[in-house]
Amino acid sequence: MQKILLIDDDADFVAVNEKRLTDAGYAVTSAYDGAEGMDKAREEQPDAIVLDVMMTTPDEGFEVARKLRNDARTRNTPIIMLTGINVSEYQLPKALGDYDKDPTWNPVDVFLNKPVSSHDLLRTIAEVIE
């Protein structure tokens, strides 16, 4: 059974998606901040990580992503980053909108805007795991 780690401080988001992912056949572990997420990523060795941007700090997700990529145990684990801020709508700094062009600053595999449909999340997880 493939393992997914959800790292998000929104308990409702985590609860809903734990159910969706479990129903789809995944084993799910959750963490509610970056430090707990790092610990669980190292311990659990998930097949993919779903990571929120804004948790205890506005950019905590970016810090966690960089730490995950710098740790030999999690370096190759796919990361799906989520944010409630629509990148194009709010015209955030170019580096955020062009995350895939700067793998050092934001080393994630996929960037999705919240709210994300369960269909899109499940499809994206399946894609990054393959």
Residue 17 sits in which domain range? 1-84
The enclosing domain of 41 has a CATH number of: 3.40.50.2300
Please check whether residue 55 lies inside any domain of the structure. Answer: yes
Check residue 75 and give its pLDDT: 94
Please check whether residue 4 lies inside any domain of the structure. Answer: yes
- Name the residue among 72, 61, 38, 73 with its Cα closest to residue 107: 61
Taking the chain (130 residues) in consecutive chunks of 10 residues, what is each chunk's mean pLDDT?
96 94 97 96 97 89 93 96 64 46 69 88 95
pTM of the entire predicted model: 0.86
Check residue 38 and give its pLDDT: 96
- What is the C-alpha separation between 7 and 36, in angstroms, rounded? 8
State the total domains in the chain.
Answer: 1
Beta strand extents in the chain (DSSP E only): 3-7, 27-31, 48-52, 79-83, 110-113
Cis? peptide before 115, omega within 30° of 0: yes
Check residue 50 and give its pLDDT: 97
- What is the C-alpha separation between 18 and 121, in angstroms, rounded? 12
Please check whether residue 98 lies inside any domain of the structure. Answer: no
